[in-house]
Amino acid sequence: MSREFRRAMPLLPISMVMQLTELTARQIRYYEEHKLIQPARSEGNRRMFSLDDVDALLEIRELLDQGINMAGIKKVFDMRQVNDVRIYDKTIISDAELRIILREEMLQAQRLQKPSLRQGGLSRFIQIKSK
Amino acid sequence: MSREFRRAMPLLPISMVMQLTELTARQIRYYEEHKLIQPARSEGNRRMFSLDDVDALLEIRELLDQGINMAGIKKVFDMRQVNDVRIYDKTIISDAELRIILREEMLQAQRLQKPSLRQGGLSRFIQIKSK
DNA sequence: AATATTATGTTAGAAAATATAACATATCAC
DNA sequence: GTGATATGTTATATTTTCTAACATAATATT
């Protein structure tokens, strides 16, 4: 679980993601525009990417290479989401239990930092502030 | 091995490190000035920190809390570094190679499912305890 | 073939983040 | 009380990132 949390943590600026994926900023933003990724934002509106985002971008690149377009990639991703949920259902921790854990963690984090992210997913629980 | 690469990979901007460590930019730069950390630099001279850097900073904080000064902390770090082989230090590797390594590591990590960050390190902020 | 769509490049201007450097200061050790 | 240490604060320059608009080659559609 901690691993997944870490991987969902928005840490990287777009410049790093560009280097890791060899994609241009234009491409990355375009894929976001098409909902293939949803990077978090800092208070100053900078995109902050997680390792999951990087992973997704690398896969987008592969799929594009295979001639698949935005819609197709979206479909592939959506299908995977379904699979993830299925797999997740089989884990020991219940959804409710998970929520409690996440809430606890979030509250603890807020004791240390000011809240700031406005977006869904796990990254909701990770704080990014700018000033 | 790849995991160490990843932890030594300079990815994070100072703003992220500030949040992860609860240190001010001033403090972080001061510690660098005193050679306690040596973050990489971007083309445009921005500091880029690795997870190892974050861990080091968290430890600096602890040691300062214990009343140890810069010189003392430096000594502690130097003593440890004797056996500590830093793969990334002087190795010249391309972005592509780094990316491939990162990718490999991520994929493998998903299979091995191994908790790893040591206590008192980064895990304090991103790990949630199951059960 | 002509036209439209898609994925990406390029450019411009604004805003945010970071850099260095200088000066300020509270806390200790002496 | 003096001086060193660790950190705060401020100023200014540079870099990074943002959005938005317009351009275009490659595909798809008609």
pLDDT in tens, A22-47: 999 999 999 999 999 999 999 999 99
Q: How far is B26 from chain A (nearest CA, A)?
A: 14
End-to-end CA distance of chain A: 30
Residue A91: pLDDT band (50, 70, 90) is: low
**Could you give the percent of chain A with pLDDT greater than 70?**
62
Tally the domains of chain B: 1
Confirm whether A119 is domain-assigned: yes
Confirm whether B11 is domain-assigned: yes
| Mean pLDDT, range B55-64, rounded to an integer | 97
Confirm whether A130 is domain-assigned: no
User: For A107, which residue in chain B has the nearest alpha carbon?
Assistant: B125
Closest C1' nucleotide to A25's CA: D17
Least confident span in A4-8, B7-11, B12-16, B117-121: B117-121
Phi, psi (degrees; rounded to nearest 5) at A48:
-125, 125
Q: How far is B18 from chain A (nearest CA, A)?
A: 10
**Cβ-proximal residues to A56 (8 Å cutoff; 6+ apart), any chain:** A36, A37, A77
Per-residue model confidence (pLDDT) at position B17:
98
Q: Which residue has the higher pLDDT, B115 or B73?
A: B73
Per-residue model confidence (pLDDT) at position A6:
79
Please say if the pLDDT value at position B126 is more than 90: no
Please say if the pLDDT value at position B32 is more than 80: yes
Please say if the pLDDT value at position B101 is more than 70: no
CA distance B80 to B119: 17
Confirm whether A131 is domain-assigned: no
**CATH number of the domain that B26 lies in?**
1.10.1660.10
On average, the pLDDT of chain A sits at 75
The C-alpha angle B111, A105, B57, rounded to 5 degrees, equals 80
**Cβ-proximal residues to B99 (8 Å cutoff; 6+ apart), any chain:** A19, A20, A21, A22, A58
Residue A97: pLDDT band (50, 70, 90) is: very low
Structure tokens at A119: 């977006």
B115 close to A4: Cβ distance less than 8 angstroms: no
Chain A residues within 8 A of B7 when measuring between CB atoms: none
With b meaning 16 or more CB within 10 Å and e meaning fewer, what string describes A3-38? bebbbbbbbbbbebbbbbbebeeebbeebbeeebbe
Q: Which residue has the higher pLDDT, B93 or B17?
A: B17
CA distance B54 to B10: 10
Confirm whether A16 is domain-assigned: yes
B3 close to B118: Cβ distance less than 8 angstroms: no
Per-residue model confidence (pLDDT) at position B91:
53
B87 close to B50: Cβ distance less than 8 angstroms: no
Cβ within 7 Å of nucleic strand D, residues: A 13-16, 25, 29, 45-47; B 13, 24, 26-27, 30-31, 34, 42-46, 64, 69-71
> What is the domain range of residue A33?
2-125
Confirm whether A20 is domain-assigned: yes
User: For A104, which residue in chain B has the nearest alpha carbon?
Assistant: B128
Confirm whether B78 is domain-assigned: yes
Chain B residues within 8 A of A113 when measuring between CB atoms: 19, 22
Q: Are strands A47-48 and B40-41 parallel, antiparallel or unpaired?
A: unpaired
Residue B107: pLDDT band (50, 70, 90) is: very low
Confirm whether B80 is domain-assigned: yes
| Mean pLDDT, range A97-122, rounded to an integer | 38
